[in-house]
Amino acid sequence: MAQILVENLEKRYRIAERKPGLWGAVSGLVNRVYRDVDALHGVSFSIEPGELVGYIGPNGAGKSTTIKILSGILVPSGGHCIINNRIPWKDRVAHVAGIGVVFGQRTQLWWDLPVIESFDLLKDIYRVLPLAYRTIRDELITLLDLEALLDTPVRQLSLGQRMRCDLAASLIHQPDILFLDEPTIGLDAVAKLSLRHFVKRQNRERGTTVLLTTHDMDDIEFLCDRLMLINHGTLLMDGTVNDLRSSARRVVVDFEVVPALSPEHLALRLDPGAPLTERVEFQVSSQVPAFVSAITAGYPVRDLTVEHQPIEEIVADLYRRLK
Amino acid sequence: MNASAGLMLRLAPYLSVVAIRFKILLQYRAAALAGFGTQLFWGLIKIMVFVAFYASATSPPPMSFAQVLVYIWLGQALLALLPWNVDSEIATHIRTGGVAYELLRPLDLYGFWYARTIAFRSAPTLLRLGPMLAFAYLFLPLIGLSEWALPDPAGGLSLLLFVCSLGATLLLASAITMIMHIALLWTVSGDGFNRLMPGIVPVLSGLTIPLPLFPDWMQTFLYWQPFRGVADVPLRIYSGHIAATEAGFEILLQLAWTAIIIAFGYWLLIRGRRKLVVQGG
């Protein structure tokens, strides 16, 4: 049975609207006008134990709202959600004991405390037994390379250091589900890499189920077998990264001279309106080998590469089309 | 035995929260020192005012001057216990949405905050208590001002009952502070309370003027309001103005108020959580 089951999840926020200006402020005191915003519009999916799922969508698509409902923080306006046989918001205390959550935008560590004391406190809060705590703590310290940071107060950590500590903090009670809400936001390349490797390892070796929201497509490519795309509160796609990629290929050709392309080839250019130069990018959706031989036979070619369309562009295209 | 071990296990996370917050707050020694200076100054001024009052009294006042001295010095020493401000840490959590993380802990939210509030009320008090007692009880007699010094408690039993009552005061003051914390879910900024409460609490708790010195027609009202339990009761138990035989009932009354205010806070928090849900964490 699915570990996380979500059916027709809906969330409607009521937002108090204020007319601009002084009169708006005054009339707002007497006559509040509310506007309903549908953050989630019937989202359904299910996740099996041990899956590593990427959850992507533009800002305001409903990603964080979903994560907050799954974490038991928010109550949905409609629909069902069962995680480990519990309804998160109804059985919050039991539910949160079995999940780990990281919100990339804020820390769960105590600002004024050295990192290690935050860990100790979390041990008490989650009622982790001392022996189990020592084992998991030492393991996390090694894997995330935290040894040198342990005595530093959290407010003095860099963002990358803090995120590693936050990740460790979310795993001290050994949850079997991990929700990561934009964990790589603002991190430099090195910090991102180490975070990705750790998350992948946690998933592979411990079998932790991971649901991850991100704007970084490299995160998705590196980590996720499965991808869910949401926009305007509706799930638009649920499949593999390859599904999203489609069969389209990008063919980049460096010609010896500016080529006199046939009209058929001109139409296949990625940007048909651009002026011709030695380098031309083509978008070829089928018969790629035939296209490549036609090009190499028909024009003097210096270099030629065939690549997948970068996933950012696919998603950006999708977003644009969906708007 | 088993039941108490089980209770300890249930309470352990909350106790850790109290301990750690207490430890952080003890770091604010400079603030405590400044507070000590101010309170010392006010204590001396109030004594001079009461010296003048008592010298010109035409009928015997309802409190002896020694009892007033207790009221002033212990009142100054325990000033930080008064529920008149909010914990800026909790206020920041509410304003910035950090409450989301609080709800991720496998703890009852009221208990979680109440534990922190107890630390918030007790740690600064403890920092100021020592120096103030040393000054009022030991130092003043040394410089020849023993008639202004903090008198001894009315007796050993009174001292013991005073300590018990002080425990109840901590619970009550924290419960009142919790109402202010929970109200932040609606008002977001804590400024309103931080301005309103300093006007009300010192008067109703007796710290401005000892409650027994108010006119007779106000006494019934003053007796049956909860703020009396955050200062007036323990101070008068110490000085014997409340006899040891009556102190037990007074402490029960403090605890009853605590229970009522906690119940109200619980109810308020449940409603506030719904509100929080609407705002989207």
pLDDT above 70 covers a percentage of chain B that reads 96
Q: Select the more confidently predicted residue: B186 or B113.
A: B113
Report the alpha-carbon distance of residue A151 to residue A88 in Å, rounded: 35
Q: From the list A74, A112, A127, which residue is nearest B280 (CB)? A: A74
- The structural domain count of chain B equals 1
Strand partners, A239: A227
Task: Return d(Cα B36, Cα A16) in angstroms, integer.
Answer: 45
The verdict on B24 touching A (C-beta cutoff 8 Å) is yes
Residues of B in contact with A124 (CB under 8 A): 12-13, 16-17
Structural domain of B165: 2-279
pLDDT, position B280: 44
Band (B281; pLDDT cuts 50, 70, 90): very low
Nearby residues of B245 by Cβ (< 8 Å), 6 or more positions away: none
What residues are paired with A230 via a beta bridge?
A235
CB distance from B96 to chain A under 8 Å? Answer: yes
Nearest to A75 among B20, B24, B277 (CB): B277
Report the percent of chain A where pLDDT is more than 90: 47
Percent of chain B with pLDDT over 90: 62
Q: How many CB atoms lie under 10 A from the CB of residue A323?
A: 8
A99 to chain B: closest CA residue:
B104
Written in H, E and C, the secondary structure of B140-193 is HHHCCCHHHCCCCCCCHHHHHHHHHHHHHHHHHHHHHHHHHHHHHHHHCCCHHH
SS3 of residue A236 by DSSP: strand
Are B180 and B86 spatial neighbours (Cβ–Cβ below 8 Å)? yes
pLDDT, mean over chain B:
89
Does position B9 have pLDDT exceeding 80, yes or no? Answer: no
If you measure CA to CA, which chain B residue comes closest to A129? B9
Residues of A whose CB is below 8 A from B274: 75
Number of C-alpha atoms within 13 angstroms, CB side, residue B261?
27
d(CA A140, CA B218): 63
Per-residue model confidence (pLDDT) at position A23: 73
Mean pLDDT to the nearest integer, B184-190: 76
C-alpha distance from residue B192 to each of A246, B42, B108 (Å):
58, 25, 27
Say whether A39 and B280 touch across the interface (CB within 8 A).
yes
pLDDT tens per residue across span A288-320: 888 899 889 889 999 998 887 766 777 777 777
Confidence of residue A18 (pLDDT cuts 50, 70, 90): low
Q: Which residues of A105-117 are buried (b: 16+ CB within 10 A; e: fewer)?
A: eebbbbebbbbbb
Show residues of chain B in contact with A127, CB under 8 Å: 9, 12-13, 106
B5–A contact, CB cutoff 8 A: no
Q: Say how far apart CA B158 and CA B163 lie, in whole Å.
A: 9
Q: Which of B98, B105, B280 sits opposite A106 (nearest CB)?
A: B98
Asked if A73 and B9 come within 8 Å (Cβ–Cβ), the reply is no
CA A187, CA A163: separation in Å to the nearest integer?
9
Confidence of residue A232 (pLDDT cuts 50, 70, 90): confident
For the segment B235-247, what is each residue's pLDDT rounded down to a tens digit? 999 999 999 999 9
Alpha-carbon distance B166 to B231, whole Å?
A: 8
Q: Do B104 and A97 touch (CB under 8 A)?
A: no
Are the C-beta atoms of residues B206 and B92 closer than 8 Å to each other? no
The answer to whether residue B116 scores a pLDDT higher than 90 is yes
pLDDT in tens, A38-92: 889 999 999 999 999 999 888 888 898 999 999 998 889 899 999 999 999 999 9
B278·A13 Cβ contact <8 A: yes
Least confident range from A90-94, A131-135, A260-264, B139-143: namely: A260-264
Query: Up-side HSE of residue A124: CA atoms within 13 Å toward CB?
Result: 17
Instruction: Residue A71: list chain B partners with CB under 8 A.
Output: 100, 103-104
Element (H, E) at A311: helix A311-322
ipTM beyond cut 0.90: no
For tokens 């401000």, name the residue. Answer: B85
The rounded mean pLDDT for chain A is: 88
- Tens-place pLDDT, residues A147-204: 999 999 999 999 999 999 999 999 999 999 999 999 998 888 888 999 999 999 999 9
- The arithmetic mean of pLDDT across residues A285-290, rounded, is 82
Percentage of chain A beyond pLDDT 70 is 95
Distance CA B72, CA A82 (A): 59
Q: What's the pLDDT at A216? A: 83
Q: How confident is the model at residue A225 (pLDDT cuts 50, 70, 90)?
A: confident
Q: Shortest CB distance from B106 goes to which of A73, A74, A96? A: A96
Range 86-115 of A in CB contact (< 8 A) with B = 92-94, 96-97, 99, 101, 103, 106, 108, 110, 112-113
Tell which of A69, A83, A112 to mutate to test the B interface (max B CBs under 10 Å): A112
